[in-house]
Amino acid sequence: MENFFQLVKNIVPALTEKKHKGQDGRIGIVGGCQEYTGAPYFAAMSALKAGADLSYVFCAREAAPVIKSYSPELIVHPVLDSPNAVQEVKKWLPRLHALVVGPGLGRDDLLLKNVKGILEASKARDIPIVIDADGLWLIAQEPALIQGYQKAILTPNHMEFSRLWEAVVSSPVDSSDDHASVLRLSQALGNVTVVQKGEHDLISDGQQVVRCSQEGSSRRCGGQGDLLSGSLGLMAHWALLAGLEKTNGTSPLLVAAWGACSLTRQCNHQAFQKYGRSTTTTDMIAEIGAAFSKLFET
Ligand SMILES: NC(=O)C1=CN([C@@H]2O[C@H](COP(=O)(O)OP(=O)(O)OC[C@H]3O[C@@H](n4cnc5c(N)ncnc54)[C@H](OP(=O)(O)O)[C@@H]3O)[C@@H](O)[C@H]2O)[C@@H](O)CC1
Ligand SMILES: Nc1ncnc2c1ncn2[C@@H]1O[C@H](COP(=O)(O)OP(=O)(O)OP(=O)(O)O)[C@@H](O)[C@H]1O
Ligand SMILES: [Mg+2]
C-alpha cells in the first residue's frame, strides 16, 4: 500500500513569501440555520486553521450574526434563505476553490431547494464539493444531484451511510463487511468518493478502499465531523491542484480524505490528552496546527 503520509505531504502547498492572500485556499461552507450555528463555524474555522487563506460561510439570515460573533476570521453571507440565494452564491463561485455543503444546514424545504441550485451551479464550474450532514440528507432524497460527479466527496456518519445506502442500493447493507459496503456505495453513486466515518474511517473511490486508523480517543463530542468536512474541503483543493503526479497515481480525493481523517483523529487524540472527558470540538480545533505539523510537516 502507498505511504499515505508521504502522499499527503506531497500535496501540501509550500509556504513561501511569493504568494498572495487566497492562493492557498478559498473555501466556502454552505450551512447554518436557526437551529445550528456551531457546525458551519467549526467547518469554516477548521479549513482556516488547516491552512486556508479565506473561509466563507453561506447561511440563513438568522444564523449570520451568531456565526460572525463567534469569530472575526470568517466572512459570512446571510443569503441561503433569500429568494435569490442561488444567484447570490453564484457570484462567489468563481472565487471559491472548494465547497463544503451541509454542516448545520437543517432540513427546511426552502433551504434545501436553494442548495440544489447551488450544487448544480458548482458542478457546472467543476468545483470540488464535500457533502456532509444535512447535505447528505438532500442527496439521499435525490441521488441524481451528485451521481457521477468526479469532484464530489461524501462524508457520512453511521446513520447517514444507512440513509444513502437505502436510497441507492436495493439490497440490505452487509454490516459484516464494511469494506465491501463503502466500495459498493461509491460505485452505485458513479464512483464519487465516499468516506464512511467510524471507529476506523473507510474511504473509497469505487476502485479501492483505504482505511484510516490514526489513533483518536474514545471521546465522541458533537462537531468532530464538521472539523473533518471543513479540513477536507481544503485538502481536496490542494490534492486536485497537485494532481496525480504528486499522488503517485492514487486518486487525489482519496489522498485528501485520508489526510483530513488523520488530522481529525490526531486532533481528537491531542485534545483528549489535555482535557479528557471534557474535550470539545473547540479544543480539537485548537490542536489543528500542532496536529498538522506532527503528521504532515517534514
Ligand atoms: N454544534 C452544532 O451546531 C452541531 C450541529 N450538528 C448538525 O446537526 C444536524 C444533524 O446532524 P446529526 O449528525 O445529528 O444527524 P442525523 O443524521 O439525524 O444523526 C443523528 C443520529 O444518528 C445516530 N447515530 C449517529 N452516529 C451513530 C453511530 N455511530 N452509531 C449508531 N447511531 C448513530 C444517533 O442516533 P441515536 O443514538 O440518537 O438513536 C443520532 O441521534 C446537522 O446539520 C449537523 O451538521 C452536528 O454537526 C453537531 C454539532
Ligand atoms: N468510534 C470511533 N473511534 C474513533 N474515532 C471515531 C469514532 N467514531 C467516529 N470517529 C471519528 O470522529 C470523526 C467524526 O465522525 P463522526 O461519526 O462523529 O461524525 P458526525 O456524526 O458527522 O459528527 P458531527 O457531530 O460533527 O456531526 C471522524 O474523523 C471519525 O474518524
Ligand atoms: Mg455530522
Domain membership of residue 248 (yes or no) is yes
Q: Phi, psi (5° rounding) for residue 173?
A: -70, 135
Ligand 2 atom nearest to CA at 157: 17
Tell whether 2 is covered by a domain.
no
Number of domains in the chain: 1
pLDDT of residue 173: 84
Q: Tell me the H-state helices in the chain.
A: 4-11, 38-50, 64-70, 85-92, 109-124, 133-141, 158-168, 178-188, 224-242, 252-275, 281-286, 288-296
Could you tell me the CATH number of the domain that includes residue 265? Answer: 3.40.1190.20
The C-alpha torsion from 60 through 62 and 53 to 243, rounded to 10°, is: -20
216 pocket-lining for ligand 2 (C-beta < 6 Å): yes
> For residue 224, how far is its CA from the centre of ligand 2 (angstroms)?
6
The neighbouring-strand residues paired with 29 are: 57, 100
- Give the model confidence (pLDDT) of 147-176 as tens digits: 999 999 999 999 999 999 999 997 888 888
All residues at 6 or more sequence positions from 227 whose CB lies less than 8 Å from its CB, including other chains: 42, 43, 46, 264, 267, 281, 284, 285, 288
pLDDT at 279: 98
Matching residue, cell 517534514: 298
List CB-based neighbours of ion ligand 3 within 5 Å: 133, 225
Q: Does the beta carbon of 237 lie inside 6 Å of ligand 2?
A: no
**Bridge partners, 202 (sequence order):** 196, 211
Going by C-alpha positions, the residue among 214, 283, 205, 246 that lies closest to residue 42 is 283
Q: What is the total residue count of the chain?
A: 298
Torsion of CA 40, 81, 26, 49, to 10 degrees: -10
Ligand in nearest proximity to the CA of 30: 1
- Residue 169 CA to residue 165 CA, distance in Å, equals 5
C-alpha 225 to ligand 2 mean position (Å): 6
User: What ligand 1 atom has the least distance to the C-alpha of 137?
Assistant: 17
Residue 76 lies in a domain: yes
**226 part of a folded domain:** yes
Residue 61 lies in a domain: yes
The answer to whether residue 9 is domain-embedded is: no
Contacting residues for 225 by C-beta, under 8 A, at least 6 apart: 103, 132, 133, 155, 157, 197
Q: Is the CB of 25 under 6 A from ligand 2?
A: no
Query: Model's pTM, two decimal places?
Result: 0.98
Measured from the alpha carbon of residue 227, the closest ligand is: 2
Residue 13 resides in a domain? no
**285: nearest Cα among 238, 227, 233, 237:** 227
**178 pocket-lining for ligand 2 (C-beta < 6 Å):** no
Closest-CA residue, ligand 1 atom 29, reads 158
Q: Is 187 in contact with 166 (CB distance < 8 Å)?
A: no
Q: Is the ipTM of this complex over 0.85?
A: yes
pLDDT value of residue 119: 98
Q: Domain residues for 115?
A: 22-297
Which residues' Cβ are closer than 6 Å to ligand 1? 36-39, 103-106, 133-134, 157-160, 222-223, 225-226
Those residues of the chain that have pLDDT short of 50 are none
CA 45 – CA 193 distance, rounded (Å): 23
Inside any domain, residue 17:
no
Question: How far, in whole angstroms, is CA 204 from its chain's centroid?
Answer: 15
- Give the sign of the dihedral formed by CA 38, CA 129, CA 156, CA 139: positive
Question: Residue of the nearest CA to atom 21 in ligand 2?
Answer: 157
> What is the 42 CA–ligand 1 centroid distance (Å)?
15
